[in-house]
């Protein structure tokens, strides 16, 4: 898929073509039809509706065929927790959200958020650090993890694996190979 991809006029035609050339489970087809790939590009790129990767500056969308494989292998179900590392445009995160459904939030956290007043005077706090040096022991764990960018060191891989629940699934390009 993707090497000599045809261009299609819209998202629906692209999905129709993918169904003709590969097995696409009905629940995966449904979310691909609901989330128009073209809405996640920053310019009207004539190649956005093809089974090929799309890139504009720092934004990237993998080919739809790759995403179909990812979704089939992750087997995301309502109630699971999913971490999308390197979420780029938000396209795949939107698809993950639709697969998870509306009941996927932590009930205690949702109740807290509903009962709290929004404090718009305080700016959000963003913390960052190297996955190799951060203390991960108090971080949540996830049923499914997808990494859209390359894991280039053993330390990065070990840190991400600590975030994966026992029995969970991880899909990531590790050392320039998909694992």
Tens-digit pLDDT profile for residues 33-47: 999 999 988 776 668
pLDDT digits (tens, 9 = 90+) for 131-151: 554 566 678 899 999 999 888
62 is catalytic: yes
Q: Is 22 exposed, middle or buried (0-12, 13-18, 19+ CB in 10 A)?
A: middle
**pTM, to two decimals:** 0.77
What is the total residue count of the chain?
179
Q: Which CATH number fits domain 11-104+132-178: 3.40.50.720, 3.40.50.150, 3.40.50.800, 3.40.50.1980?
A: 3.40.50.150
Which of 41, 50, 62, 81 is labelled catalytic? 62
Q: Where are the domains of the chain?
A: 11-104+132-178
């Amino acid at each position: 898929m993707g090497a000599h991809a045809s261009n299609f006029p819209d998202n629906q035609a692209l999905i129709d073509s993918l169904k003709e050339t590969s097995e696409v489970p009905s629940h995966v087809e449904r979310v691909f039809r609901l989330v128009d790939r073209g809405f996640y590009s920053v310019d009207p790129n004539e190649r956005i509706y093809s089974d090929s990767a799309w890139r504009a500056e720092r934004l990237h969308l993998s080919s739809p065929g790759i995403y179909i494989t990812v979704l089939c292998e992750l087997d995301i179900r309502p109630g699971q927790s999913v971490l999308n590392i390197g979420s780029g445009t938000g396209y795949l995160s939107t698809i993950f959200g639709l697969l998870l459904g509306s009941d996927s939030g932590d009930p205690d956290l949702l109740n807290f958020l509903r009962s709290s007043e929004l404090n718009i005077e305080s700016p959000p706090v963003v913390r960052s650090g190297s996955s190799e040096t951060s203390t991960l022991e108090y971080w949540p764990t996830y049923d499914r993890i997808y990494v859209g960018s390359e894991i280039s060191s053993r330390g990065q891989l070990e840190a991400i694996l600590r975030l994966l629940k026992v029995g969970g699934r991880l899909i990531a390009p590790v050392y320039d190979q998909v694992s």
